[in-house]
A = this chain, B = another copy of it.
């Protein structure tokens, strides 16, 4: 239920590859050097608030969300529960949430529709050619 054993670096890397972005791409979006980003992700450097703020947006985090994950802010008591999908496995990825939120409702529905078509397609293909 709790993701206490996952580090900030891992979270950041997961987000980045999920989007997906390379270190260099994220670097130029954020004006943070790729080497630094890399070291952050594998826990060799601990990002300062300035850096954290730079990367929050492009990674799809709310600033305070990332600050909380970094242990800079204590968990936001009220706001978190009510509206934001804060990072944890099983919940909506914040980047996806952000992007979809910018789309019209019909588009959001269409995305879901396409997803369900793909899922059923892959299922029937798997049935036709059961290898393994």
Contact = CB atoms under 8 A, between A and B. Distances in A.
Interface string A61-84: 001100100101110100100000
16 contacts: A48-B49, A49-B52, A49-B67, A49-B70, A50-B72, A52-B72, A53-B73, A53-B74, A63-B74, A64-B64, A64-B73, A64-B76, A67-B67, A67-B73, A72-B72, A79-B79
How many copies of the polypeptide does the oligomer hold? 2
Interface of A: 48-50, 52-53, 63-64, 67, 70, 72-74, 76, 79
A49 B50 CA distance: 9
Contacts of A52: 49, 72
A6 to B, nearest CB: 20
A90 to B, nearest CB: 26
B67 A72 contact: yes
A80 to B, nearest CB: 12
A121 to B, nearest CB: 41
Contacts of A79: 79
A49 B63 contact: no
A63 B53 CA distance: 16
